[in-house]
C-alpha cells in the first residue's frame, strides 16, 4: 500500500501538494519562511522521492528476475546437478538429486512426460541441450517453477493424441540403444507405468507375458499393445482373430480365453 503524503502544517488547503518540486517562492505559504528551513524541506523531498523510486525499481527488478524465464539462470540450475568431469550432462546421481528437489520419485510417470518434453534420448540422462529445450518451452528455471508445472505435465497424459506420442516415445527412450528391441523386464515396467492404471486387461496381460516365450518386445508389438488396449472390449467380443494384430496378441487372446474357461480357437486355424 502506498505511503500517505505528509501535509504542510500551516496549510488550510488540503488539496495542495505537500512538497513542491519547483523553486520556492517568497509567497509560498506551504513552506517555512526561513530560507534555511525552506531549503531543508526542498532537499528532504528530493531525497525522499529518489529513495522511493529506487525502492520501486528494485522491487520491480526482483519480480522480473523471478517471474521471467532466464536461460542463464536455467543453465546455472542445470550445473547444480552435473559433475566437474561432464558439466554438460546430468547423469543418474544428478537425476536422483533433481527428483528429490522437485519432490517426485524417479519412477513417477511425470518424469517420463518431462523427458518427452525435452526429447531426451537416454533414460537417466539429460544433456544441457535437452534441458534447455524442455524448460525453455515450459518457462522453468527453478525448482519452484517446475513444481508448479507438475500437474500440467500429468494432465498431458489425459489427452489421447499427446498420450500416444508419449507412449511411442517411451519405447526408444527406455530401450537399450545397442538393441533394436526392448527387453521384457524394461517393457513390463514401462507398460505398468503407462497402461497399468487405465487398461482393465493389464493385469492379465502382464501374467501372460510372465509365462510366455517372449524375451523382447519389438516396436510393432509395442504400438499394437496400445491400440489393443484402446479398442478391444474387456470381454474380447470385438477381437478379430483374422485381423492384422501381431501374433503375440493373438496368443494373449487365446490364453485369456482358456483362463476364463472359454472355448479357444486354434491359432493355426487363422491361416486356413
The pLDDT tens digits for 110-129 are 999 999 999 999 999 999 99
Determine, yes or no, domain membership for 57: no
Q: Where are the alpha helices (DSSP H) in 156-196?
A: 160-174, 184-195
pLDDT, tens digit, for every residue of 217-254? 999 999 999 999 999 999 999 999 888 999 999 999 99
What is the C-alpha to C-alpha distance for residues 89 and 126, in angstroms, rounded to an integer? 6
pLDDT of residue 38: 54
Confidence of residue 19 (pLDDT cuts 50, 70, 90): very low
Q: Quick one: 148 and 100 in the same domain?
A: yes
pLDDT, tens digit, for every residue of 198-209? 999 999 999 999
When mean pLDDT is compared across 20-34, 64-78, 120-134, 238-252, the lowest value belongs to: 20-34
pLDDT of residue 34: 52
Determine, yes or no, domain membership for 78: yes
User: What percent of the chain stands above pLDDT 70?
Assistant: 72
Q: Quick one: 145 and 110 in the same domain?
A: yes
pLDDT of residue 177: 86
Q: In this structure, how many other beta carbons lie within 10 angstroms of the beta carbon of residue 138?
A: 18
Single residue among 158, 192, 222 that ends a domain in this structure:
158
Single residue among 141, 158, 175 that ends a domain in this structure:
158
Q: Quick one: 182 and 200 in the same domain?
A: yes
What would the mean pLDDT of 29-34 be, rounded to a whole number?
51
What is the C-alpha to C-alpha distance for residues 187 and 172, in angstroms, rounded to an integer? 11
What is the C-alpha to C-alpha distance for residues 13 and 9, in angstroms, rounded to an integer? 11
pLDDT of residue 67: 77
Confidence of residue 66 (pLDDT cuts 50, 70, 90): low
Q: Quick one: 121 and 172 in the same domain?
A: no
Q: CATH number, domain at 95?
A: 1.10.238.10
pLDDT of residue 149: 97
Determine, yes or no, domain membership for 45: no
pLDDT of residue 54: 40
The model's pTM is 0.72
What would the mean pLDDT of 163-180 be, rounded to a whole number?
94
> What distance lies between CA 193 and its chain's CA centroid?
17
Question: Hunting for cell 496549510 — which residue is that?
Answer: 11
Residue range of the domain that includes 231:
164-261
When mean pLDDT is compared across 21-35, 107-121, 125-139, 150-164, the lowest value belongs to: 21-35
Q: Quick one: 147 and 206 in the same domain?
A: no
Q: Count up the domains in the chain and report the number.
A: 2
Confidence of residue 51 (pLDDT cuts 50, 70, 90): very low
Determine, yes or no, domain membership for 76: yes
Q: Where are the beta strands (DSSP E) in 131-266?
A: 182-183, 216-217
Q: Which residue has the higher pLDDT, 29 or 110?
A: 110
Task: Provide the terminal-to-terminal Cα distance of the chain, rounded to the nearest Å.
Answer: 84
Determine, yes or no, domain membership for 88: yes
Q: Quick one: 173 and 237 in the same domain?
A: yes
Burial degree of 152 (CB within 10 A; 0-12, 13-18, 19+): exposed
Determine, yes or no, domain membership for 56: no
Amino acid at each position: 500500500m502506498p505511503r500517505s503524503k505528509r501535509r504542510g502544517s500551516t496549510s488550510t488547503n488540503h488539496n495542495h501538494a505537500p512538497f513542491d518540486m519547483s523553486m520556492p517562492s517568497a509567497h509560498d505559504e506551504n513552506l517555512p519562511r526561513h530560507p534555511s528551513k525552506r531549503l531543508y524541506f526542498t532537499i528532504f523531498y528530493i531525497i525522499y522521492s529518489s529513495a522511493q523510486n529506487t525502492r520501486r525499481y528494485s522491487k520491480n527488478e526482483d519480480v522480473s528476475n523471478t517471474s521471467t524465464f532466464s536461460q542463464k539462470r536455467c543453465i546455472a540450475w542445470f550445473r547444480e546437478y552435473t559433475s566437474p568431469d561432464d558439466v554438460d550432462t546430468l547423469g543418474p546421481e544428478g537425476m536422483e538429486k533433481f527428483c528429490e528437489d522437485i519432490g517426485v520419485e524417479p519412477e513417477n510417470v511425470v518424469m517420463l512426460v518431462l523427458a518427452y518434453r525435452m526429447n531426451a534420448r537416454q533414460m537417466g540422462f539429460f544433456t544441457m541441450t535437452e534441458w534447455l529445450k524442455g524448460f525453455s518451452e515450459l518457462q522453468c528455471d527453478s525448482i519452484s517453477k517446475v513444481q508448479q508445472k507438475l500437474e500440467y505435465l500429468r494432465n498431458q497424459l489425459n489427452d489421447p493424441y499427446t498420450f500416444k506420442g508419449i507412449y511411442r516415445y517411451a519405447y526408444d527412450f527406455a530401450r537399450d540403444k545397442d538393441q533394436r528391441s526392448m527387453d521384457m523386464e524394461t517393457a513390463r515396467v514401462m507398460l505398468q507405468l503407462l497402461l497399468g492404471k487405465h487398461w482393465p486387461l493389464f493385469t492379465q496381460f502382464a501374467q501372460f507375458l510372465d509365462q510366455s516365450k517372449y524375451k523382447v518386445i519389438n516396436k510393432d508389438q509395442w504400438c499394437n499393445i496400445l491400440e489393443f488396449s484402446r479398442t478391444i472390449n474387456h470381454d474380447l467380443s470385438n477381437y478379430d482373430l483374422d485381423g492384422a494384430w501381431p501374433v503375440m496378441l493373438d496368443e494373449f487372446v487365446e490364453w485369456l480365453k482358456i483362463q476364463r474357461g472359454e472355448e479357444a480357437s486354434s491359432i493355426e486355424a487363422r491361416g486356413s
